[in-house]
Amino acid sequence: MKIRDEINETSEQIIILITSLLERAKNYFETIMPMYTHLRQAQIGTFSHFLLSYAEALLRDMGRLYDTYARVNQSPLGAGAVGGSSIKIDRQRTARLLGFDGLVRNSIDATTSRDTVLEFTAGLAILMETLSRMTEDFIIWSTDEFEYLDISDSHGSSSSAMPHKKNPDPLELIRAKAAAVLGNFVAMITVVKGLPSGYSRDLQEIKNSLWQACDATHQALRIMNYIVNSLIINERKMLQASSNSYAISLDLAEILVTKNKVPFRLAHKIVGSLVRKAITDKKRPLNMLGEKEIRQVVKSFGWSLPIQDILRTIRQTTPQISINSRQSFGSPNPKQQPRMVKLLKREMAYYVEEVTKRKRRNAQAMKDLNETVTALTVRHKENY
């Protein structure tokens, strides 16, 4: 019963965080920034696309907890010590009175199994992993080397010795708490893995780990929501990094493929050689390459291509053109971003409605239980 309440509360906090991400994303549909693989600039994207990527991940995290609820909300009451009871107990009725959806049927299974507890804690650990990745991005991008964003003063801490520093301590603590929750899960599954059938006293040890995981997750969600809402975004720095980047290289390669019918493997090599030439010669942007240099590179591959067209393409392919040219569903194209927000809101609305229903059913069950107990108490007093 406690875990089902924890699932509902955690789901509500995830919904609040997703809502904050969606609202902030609306302001950055066309805020251009580099996207990364291996922590190296990979393609051009938008800050809204980045925020929505975490909204998608959090929605899956909530979905896992939502699905776990159905397996958690089964009543073990009436299983006795391990083999049931000779007392005539209506297990179905007690399950209904306590708001359960059904029964853990087998009495041995009811007293032994803790898989639903482990499933719930695993869901929390995966959720905390999502939050930990968010913190890592925010920490890196708030450094002096990146300056893509800044943590508000209210969510940073000063250095004890260096007066110029603002440290992202709350983010670092969320990252550490993610490890702690994972440790809670490992401790619990390690306790359970070697137990025989029937109750063993070892099982009392999993409770502390369970409640610690719940508390850490709730705190992390609340703090992350505060941070997301107060982030200071440096759009100028993001655009500057994108403009000086070689991340348009894939766009150029795809243009060679689609317009000039060059095999992609060869297009990859040609553009890679152009990048190498730009880097080794005073580290220039690609659009600073001259016609002679481009001709020299293309000729080295023994391929006849319209050099003027390639030169024009390189000169004209800007970060804005790069993201506007994306056609695939789910890309950072600014025209797709409102659609992504709409789809996420629609999916989230389903969970909002269902979580509300579950809380209402549980509250009604407790109300009915109190009324039933009161009525039985009055009847007992009248009879005796």
| Catalytic residue IDs | 38, 159
Residues 187-195: contacts with CB under 8 Å, at least 24 apart: 188/114, 188/117, 188/118, 188/121, 189/118, 192/114, 192/118, 195/112
Cβ neighbours of residue 125 under 8 Å, at least 6 residues apart? 178, 181, 182, 184, 185, 213
CA 339-344-347 angle, 5° bins: 125
DSSP state letter for 33: E
C-alpha–C-alpha distance, residues 271 and 302, integer Å: 14
364's tokens: 């009604």
Q: Is the distance from CB of 91 to CB of 181 less than 8 angstroms?
A: no
The CA distance from 200 to 220, in Å, is: 33
CA contacts within 13 A on the Cβ side of 78: 18
Helix (H) or strand (E) segment spanning residue 102: strand 102-103
- At CA 336, angle to CA 331 and CA 340, rounded to 5? 90
Amino acid at the residue 368: D
